[in-house]
Amino acid sequence: MNTTMIPALSLTNLPATASSLFSAYASLAAFLMLARSMADQLIPHQLRSYLHSLLGYFYTPKSSNLTLIVDEKSSMNNNQVYEAAEVYLQTKISPLNERLRVSKTPRQKTISLAIEKNEEIMDSFENIKLKWRFVCTESKDHGSDKSHFELTFVKKHKALVVEAYLPYVLDRAKAINEEEKVLKLNSSHSGSIDLEHPSTFDTLAIDPELKSMIIDDLDRFVSRKGFYKRVGKAWKRGYLLYGPPGTGKSSLIAAMANYLNFDVYDLELSTIHSDYHLKRTLLATSNRSILVIEDIDCSAETENRETDSRVQRSNNTFSLSGLLNFIDGLWSSVGDERIIIFTTNHKDRLDPALLRPGRMDVHIHMSYCTASGFRILASNYLGIHASNPHRLCGEIEELIESTNVTPAEVAEELMKSDDADVALQGLVNFLKRKKAEVESKKTQDEGTDKTESQEEAK
């Protein structure tokens, strides 16, 4: 059988090809060096820098990631996305995190953990990898820390993150807050503390019918979001609590807050220096909150409306018209599901403009202690129930109905002893003394009036 021998392939078989490639490369390198030398001599330095940056812009590989910045404040308002992220990310802390903030308030059952600045937390949503980073910088203008979150993910998932993931974070944070919420008492002067007032509608010593009316009104208010939107009204409700000191106005506010699970903002008008300051304070309050303005008759150093209309006002002045606009003007529509409560010992001293519906919708008279109020206090302090009353209860109820005594005074007497016999007898003695003092003063006043009438007759 004949065979044809095929010569082996080697570099020695391609001398012409290798030589040609090397020559071409040397020629190209020499040309580029010549071109660069000519460019350095003929093109100005500034133009060369511009062309270099332009080429870099077009040929530098673009990042495939997108970072969203979540600031703590949005204009003058709190940023709800920031607040939600702060709550949500506490549930995503992993063993990889090296620095955590630790805290616990008296009412919290467990220790709370939060990430420290520059810490990163990884999350996933619908197979998307997301990275959160907490950034905290010192503000040069105010000397305080300024915080924000950075959320980084692959750019192509932007729509899903904005339209689905962030709403999910908001919903999860809301659910966590409802489960673990500790009510806050916020002051326009002294900051925020936990609201630990134990008052509830069960322990409140007011008339049962009045109590039922208040509860029904609160339930009706919080369930009517659609109604307020349909009729074009701000979703808010105004209450005026009026009556003598010690009749339970502060306890009723605490009971309302505990019933609704609303934070309380105590607006001290003595610390408000201008209408502008008042607006900023309103913007700092959150939804689902109770704004309290106590002793409106004596703490609001406002000028009357006639003065306001005659004098050109500045932003450095706090006025009655500014307060009215705060209550039911355009600024009152900032935020939803808010209750404004005013208290006063003297309703007759208030400007009629404050009293109309839309500003103070519900007027609640906090009266002196009644027989039904005493029964609640006796149950609270001594465990005496209406189904098995103490032998002194009947006498006490008769004395209470004929004497102006506040629930605070009755409670003080009941606290003096854990022995029901001793405490109730002490209350009987107190009521008798108070009744005698009132009758004695009444007799003296009548005698004075009679003497004055006789003098005038002469």
pLDDT tens across 45-59, in order? 666 666 666 665 555
351 and 239, same domain (yes or no): yes
Last residue of a domain, one of 304, 338, 365: 365
Q: How many residues are present in the chain? A: 458
pLDDT bucket at 364, cuts 50 / 70 / 90? very high
The closest alpha carbon to 113, from 122, 101, 96, belongs to: 101
The closest alpha carbon to 283, from 430, 60, 77, 20, belongs to: 77
Whichever domain contains 302, its CATH number is 3.40.50.300
Integer Cα distance of 4 and 170 in angstroms: 81
341 and 410, same domain (yes or no): no
Look at residue 327 and tell me if it is in a domain: yes
Q: Are 288 and 276 in contact (CB under 8 A)?
A: no
229 and 350, same domain (yes or no): yes
Q: Are 239 and 340 in contact (CB under 8 A)?
A: yes
Integer Cα distance of 385 and 420 in angstroms: 12
Look at residue 4 and tell me if it is in a domain: no
Phi, psi dihedrals of residue 95, rounded to the nearest 5°: -60, -15
255 and 396, same domain (yes or no): no
What strands lie across the sheet with 362-365, from one edge to the other? 191-194, 184-187, 263-266, 289-293, 338-344, 236-242, 362-365
Q: Is the pLDDT of residue 392 over 90?
A: yes
Task: Report the number of distinct structural domains present in the chain.
Answer: 3
Q: For 79-90, what is each residue's pLDDT tens digit?
A: 889 989 998 998
Look at residue 25 and tell me if it is in a domain: no
Q: Is the pLDDT of residue 376 over 60?
A: yes
Integer Cα distance of 229 and 192 in angstroms: 31
Residue 454's pLDDT is what?
A: 61
81 and 112, same domain (yes or no): yes
353 and 376, same domain (yes or no): no
* Torsion of Cα atoms, 47 then 51 then 56 then 57, to 10°: 100
352 and 388, same domain (yes or no): no
Q: Is 123 helix (H, G, I), strand (E, B) or coil?
A: strand
Residue type, 104: K
Q: Which residues of 285-295 are buried (b: 16+ CB within 10 A; e: fewer)?
A: bbebbbbbbbb
Residue 449's pLDDT is what?
A: 63
pLDDT bucket at 11, cuts 50 / 70 / 90? very low
Task: Tell how far CA 428 is from the center of its chain.
Answer: 45
Domain that holds residue 340: 193-365
Look at residue 358 and tell me if it is in a domain: yes
Stronger pLDDT, 113 or 400, i.e. the higher one: 400
350 and 378, same domain (yes or no): no
304 and 352, same domain (yes or no): yes
Last residue of a domain, one of 181, 201, 235: 181
388 and 247, same domain (yes or no): no
260 and 245, same domain (yes or no): yes
Look at residue 422 and tell me if it is in a domain: yes
312 and 378, same domain (yes or no): no
Q: For 22-50, what is each residue's pLDDT tens digit?
A: 677 777 777 777 777 776 666 776 666 66
Stronger pLDDT, 252 or 296, i.e. the higher one: 252
The closest alpha carbon to 228, from 326, 322, 339, 325, belongs to: 339
The tokens of 82 are what? Answer: 């920031």
Q: Taking the model in full, what pTM does it have?
A: 0.62
The tokens of 339 are what? Answer: 């209750």
Q: Is the pLDDT of residue 190 over 80?
A: no
Last residue of a domain, one of 119, 150, 181: 181
Look at residue 216 and tell me if it is in a domain: yes
The tokens of 377 are what? Answer: 């206090």
Residue 304's pLDDT is what?
A: 45
Integer Cα distance of 207 and 195 in angstroms: 25
The closest alpha carbon to 327, from 364, 357, 297, belongs to: 357
Integer Cα distance of 418 and 446 in angstroms: 41
Look at residue 187 and tell me if it is in a domain: no
Residue 451's pLDDT is what?
A: 66
